[in-house]
Chain A
Amino acid sequence: MKPIELERPAKRAGKWRAVAMTLREKRTKRLAYLFVLPALLFFVLLNAYPLVTVLLDSFQFKNLMNKALSGFAGLTNYKEVVQNEYFRTALKNTAVWTILSVAGEYALGLLSALALNQQIKGRTLFRAIIIIPWVVPIVIAGMTWTWMLTPDYGIINLWLVKLGLLKEPYYWLGELNTALLTVVFVNVWRSFPFYTISLLAGLQSVSRDIVEAAAIDGAGVRRRFWYIVLPQLKTVSLTIVFIHIIWTAINFDFIWVMTEGGPLYSSETLPIMIYRYAMQDYNFGNASALASMMLGFMISGFILYYFFSVRKNRR
């Protein structure tokens, strides 16, 4: 009997506290939802809703130039996009643009991060200088490089000719086989600092003890790099490479500012194609279909990435 009697008042108090908590908790909850409401409104109205519209519009005839044609289109838009004579070029260009950019950025980022990780004087200054390209508007970066690359009086051409590497100035952005590669080069220049910073953070978290232990065991600089430092950068690397594959594939600004997809579609990528469909042909149905396809690519990328990271975490 006694234990029960002893327990009762305590229980009651607990119950009272629970009631009080829920009242307080309820008010807090309302407050919490109120706090996120504005951000949520922006998300729903200008992110989620448009995204759903893209998906829906991709199955509709929607052409601002030809309003007579409307209604359900089935897969016609998708068919039209895929059968567009430049679709394959754009797809291939997007792949080349993305892979080369990300590879170049990673290489430069890793090299600069390794250099910045050494104990030397003036590290902060060097780090600041290396970040600079990343904070400047893409338009300005593109414009400045366009000027340096012009065939008439562009400094890069003049120097290459002087060094004997080129016979005469070359129109880097205007020739079919170099236009895309040149934009890749400039994109690498602007984007690699992000890798530098992320990889530097990763490098600084590599435990010195392990490195020292390996050194005592007789592992040379190269061995220590390949077997200790690099594996520890795996997670950071995977994340930034993944993010940048998406960021690069969807980038519109760089290519548009430097070549507008030309000459003769030789640097046209899928985002440029979306823009052309929408803003030059006013064919919003086709544009939406292409955007939906890109979304599909992205989501498959996500799923792949997710499986990768889950499998790694399990190990």
Chain B
Amino acid sequence: MLISRSKQRFLTLLTYAVLIGFSVYCLFPFLWMLATSIKPDAEIRTVNPTFWISAPTWKHFENVLHGSAFLTFFKNSVFISAVTTGASLIISIFAGYALSRFVRFRGVKLFGIAMLLSQMIPGVLLLIPLYLVMKNLSLINTYSSLILAYTTFTVPLCTFMMKGFFDSVPFEMEESAEIDGCSRVGIIFRILMPVSLPSLVATSLFAFLNAWNEFMFGFVFINDEEHRTLTPGISLFKGLYQTDWGSMMAASVMSVLPVVIIFVFLQKFLVEGMTAGAVKG
């Protein structure tokens, strides 16, 4: 319509070529990680590596699961991420509701600006004082230190996401509930929550992902194996196993697994969420 037929065909072909190129670029590292994790050492250490695995093995997975603290790290990560998710969700539901419905109060407006700014304050700059705060509260090497830090950094994003969802719920629904004698908290939990359930799931998965992927605070606040989370744990495997790349990749595969599962669920909301905090906020 806008361009000639042959040009259109050329353009389509070009588009496919570009997209396939990008797909290979994006996926190759993961495929290679997966392949490496189930190869026996002899096939890893070869000058002719292929995706064809003649003797697939679970040895590396067994090695990581039984021969290292991986399971502890994994459990710690799950626990910390889950608590962080719960905490930031509850906090941001109320904060997001206030930002959506009560912006007419100056204090709430100021709070919105504070949230916006706090999203821009980078963690590295707060590393030192947060470390000292945790130290003074003797929270170093505890789950609480990470939960507190992660919650602080996820709340603003979640708040803006929740605000966005609440904005799209018509006010009339609340009014009729109020006339029927429903309290504010009741309105939030009985009227708004069920309506925005999918968005709620998206927000919580986001919070979970953030906590799961975080590295720096986990690296600095936790010094003992017992409380260490997955990301610093894996980075320390590097020194531990030196060149045992099979085990390294097996550990990587297992830590990416929850992310992949979340990704499949989140796909639909991901685009919205990615832009909610950063661009819109």
Contact = CB atoms under 8 A, between A and B. Distances in A.
Closest 9 CB pairs of A and B: A50-B129, A32-B102, A250-B122, A39-B95, A35-B98, A35-B94, A53-B129, A137-B213, A46-B152
Interface of B: 2-3, 7, 11-12, 15-16, 18-19, 22-23, 25-27, 29-30, 32-33, 36, 44-49, 90-92, 94-95, 97-99, 101-102, 105, 107-108, 111, 114-115, 118, 120-133, 148-149, 151-152, 155-156, 159, 184, 209, 212-213, 215-216, 219-220, 230-232, 234-235, 238, 243, 245, 248-249, 252, 255-256, 259, 262-263, 267, 270-271, 274-275, 278-279
A111 interface: yes
A294 interface: yes
B222 to A, nearest CB: 13
A181 interface: no
Given A32-B107, A38-B94, A139-B234, A130 B271 contact: no
A140 B212 CA distance: 12
B259 A287 contact: no
B252 A140 contact: yes
Contacts of A147: 32-33, 36, 245, 248-249
A198 B152 contact: no
Contact of B274 (A34, A194, A253, A257): A194
A120 interface: yes
A247 B153 CA distance: 14
Interface of A: 28-29, 31-36, 38-40, 42-43, 46-51, 53-54, 57, 108, 111-112, 115-116, 118, 120, 126, 128-148, 150, 152-153, 155, 158, 189, 193-194, 197-198, 201, 211-212, 215, 221, 236, 239-240, 243, 246-247, 250, 252-253, 256-257, 271, 274-275, 278-279, 284, 287-288, 291, 294-295, 298, 302
B12 A118 contact: yes
B23 A135 contact: no
B239 to A, nearest CB: 10
A284 B130 CA distance: 12
Contact of B114 (A40, A189, A278): A40
A155 B50 CA distance: 9
14 contacts: A32-B108, A39-B155, A40-B111, A46-B130, A54-B129, A57-B129, A118-B12, A131-B267, A131-B270, A135-B259, A247-B122, A250-B122, A250-B123, A256-B215
Given A39-B155, A144-B252, A252-B215, 14 more contacts: A40-B111, A49-B129, A50-B133, A115-B22, A116-B19, A120-B19, A134-B274, A135-B259, A137-B230, A138-B231, A139-B215, A221-B11, A250-B122, A278-B128
B26 A130 contact: yes
Contacts of B102: 28-29, 31-32, 35
Nearest to A194: B274
B30 A43 contact: no
